[in-house]
Amino acid sequence: MEQVHVIQHKHFAEGQSVRQIAREMGPNRRTVRKYLREPEPRREEAADRRQPVLSVVGPRLRPPV
């Protein structure tokens, strides 16, 4: 998240090009452009994970004792 602010500062305040920032800091140029487009970095929430199939089907697979 801090990297986003550094990239934005280098571009808007210091006037560095996207290519120069990418070369100096390491991220891909597309990533630098993405960070410059977004006013604030957004966090993408992960979707709820599905239950493993074995927990649903498992009781039917085990032989009765």
- Confidence at 25, pLDDT banded by 50, 70, 90: very high
- What is each CA distance from 9 to 25, 29, 63, in whole angstroms? 13, 16, 65
Q: Report pLDDT for 64.
A: 66
Q: pTM of this prediction? A: 0.61
Closest residue by Cα to residue 36 from 2, 9, 64, 63: 9
Are the C-beta atoms of 1 and 7 separated by less than 8 Å? Answer: no
